[in-house]
Amino acid sequence: MAKNLLKTLKKIIDDNGTDKITIFTEHLKIDGHVFLPEGKCEECHDDFIALENALVCRLDDYCVCEDDKCECHDYVCFRYDWLSVSIDDITAFSIIE
C-alpha cells in the first residue's frame, strides 16, 4: 500500500507541477515540499514521505484567526529543514499550489 501511495503522490505532483503538500495526521498539520530522489519513486522509502522545509503545527492548538497577517499559531508550529512522515500516520493530504 505504501508504494501505491508514493506512486499516486508522484503522479499528482507531476500532473500539477508542484511538490508542495499539506499532510494531516491525527494531531498534526504538516506543510512542506515532497522530496523524490530525481523524481523516482522506486528509490523512495516504503514507510515514509520525506519533506523539505517542513512546518509542523499541532492541530489541537491551531489558531483560527482570519487576519491576513495572523501569527497567533506561530508558537505551536516548528520548522524543519528535513522531516520524514510515517505513511501509516497520514489521515489526509493535499498537493497545494
- State the cell numbers at 52: 523539505
pLDDT in tens, 82-96: 999 999 999 999 998
Question: Please, which pLDDT band fits residue 43 given cuts at 50, 70 and 90?
Answer: low
Q: Give tens-digit pLDDT for 7-37.
A: 788 888 889 989 999 999 998 999 999 987 7
CA dihedral 12, 85, 59, 52 (to 10 degrees): -70
pLDDT at position 62, please?
A: 62
Count CB neighbours of 90 within 10 A. 17
pTM (two decimals): 0.78
Instruction: Determine phi and psi for 66, rounding to 5 degrees.
Output: -110, 10
Choices 3.40.50.720, 2.40.50.40, 3.30.470.30, 2.30.30.100: CATH for 2-95: 2.30.30.100
The share of the chain scoring above pLDDT 90, in percent, equals 38
**Can you tell me the distance from the alpha carbon of 67 to that of 78, in angstroms, rounded to the nearest whole number?**
21
